[in-house]
Structure 1
Amino acid sequence: MKPTAHPAKKTASAGKSSDASADASADVSADVSGDVSADASADASANITRRIEELADWRGATLAHVRQLIHAADPGVQEEWKWMGTPVWSHDGIICTGESYKQAVKLTFARGASLKDPKQLFNASLDGNTRRAIDIHEGEKINESAFKQLIQAAVKANAEALAERAAKKKSKPRA
């Protein structure tokens, strides 16, 4: 059953990606603050699991491993399925996405440019003012401790941005 569209909700529909072989469609609804319903989160988690299984190679194993690291770093993380089949991990906003390509698994951090990266895990999308990405190629290992620290820093940055937006909203005079 598809959720009904609601004016205060944004909906993302999932579909096939170029390397998905089975139908991986589900609707995920999130309210404007980024909260995901339990049903939508379960559907998203099932879609991410299905994507990992469909990949059935080093990319699936890599995506499964970083998923486990994300959950270890932030037990409160929400899984979402957006933009025609992209795994997304959120907590008070998007932490990162996990895309699979033929040559790499790309983890794009929504606020990556504002995060400290002392171990220099970010190795892609370095020119922008907002995002940063980590491309993991076949055979490469990720520094697990540094990756978890990046996840935690992203969660903290999201919480700070959410608090800042709430404070601005509160301080706006109503006409």
Structure 2
Amino acid sequence: MSKTGSQSDRTPSQLIDDRIGELGDWRGEMLARLRALIKEADPEVVEEWKWRGVPVWHHGGMICTGETYKKVVKMTFAKGAALDDPSSLFNASLEGNTRRAIDFREGERIDEDALKALIRAAVALNGGRAGG
């Protein structure tokens, strides 16, 4: 990890920057793109770093996480089961009563408009208002 000081001295945004850089492959590019789309959908989003290395985005409550695995970048929506998904973006964690996730694989195209609409809906569900 490229850092100046200990991990606890770094902001969550800096830690997410570090993670993107550490990945150094399509997963880092995907995480960076998803992060940019979250910020476009909700410029007031707050970034956090939880559970020993998971980027988390909040606005009025948790919106989603950005987990990286060997073959997928997983975007898990904390209250995804309560969200309308007219574009059928959710493709993982479909069996639960609360969360829903989107697994992005190498080379997959992101439906950016649909994803931003889903992010805004998650913010609204938390009682916030997303701009963008």
Q: TM-score, structure 2 length as denominator?
A: 0.91
Query: What SS class does the counterpart of residue 91 from structure 2 fall into?
Result: coil
Identity of aligned residues (%): 60
Q: Which has the larger radius of gyration?
A: 1
Which of 58, 65, 72 aligns to 2:33? It is 65
The answer to whether residue 54 in structure 2 is matched with residue 83 in structure 1 is no
The answer to whether residue 7 in structure 2 is matched with residue 25 in structure 1 is yes
Q: 1:47: how far off? A: 0.2
Query: What SS class does the counterpart of residue 26 from structure 1 fall into?
Result: helix
User: 2:100 maps to what in 1?
Assistant: 132
CA deviations 1:113-169 (Å, max 9, x no partner) are 000000000000000000000000001011000000000000000117xxxxxxxxx
User: 1:98 maps to what in 2?
Assistant: 66
Query: What SS class does the counterpart of residue 159 from structure 1 fall into?
Result: coil
User: 1:123 maps to what in 2?
Assistant: 91
Structure 2, unaligned runs of 5 or more:
none
Q: Matched residues in 2 for 1:63 and 1:25: separation?
A: 20
Structure 1, unaligned runs of 5 or more:
1-20, 28-41, 161-175
Q: Matched residues in 2 for 1:110 and 1:50: separation?
A: 24
Q: Matched residues in 1 for 2:29 and 2:55: separation?
A: 15
Runs of 4+ in 1 over 6 A off after TM superposition: none
The answer to whether residue 130 in structure 2 is matched with residue 155 in structure 1 is no
- Answer whether contact 1:26 1:44 (CA < 8 A) is retained: no
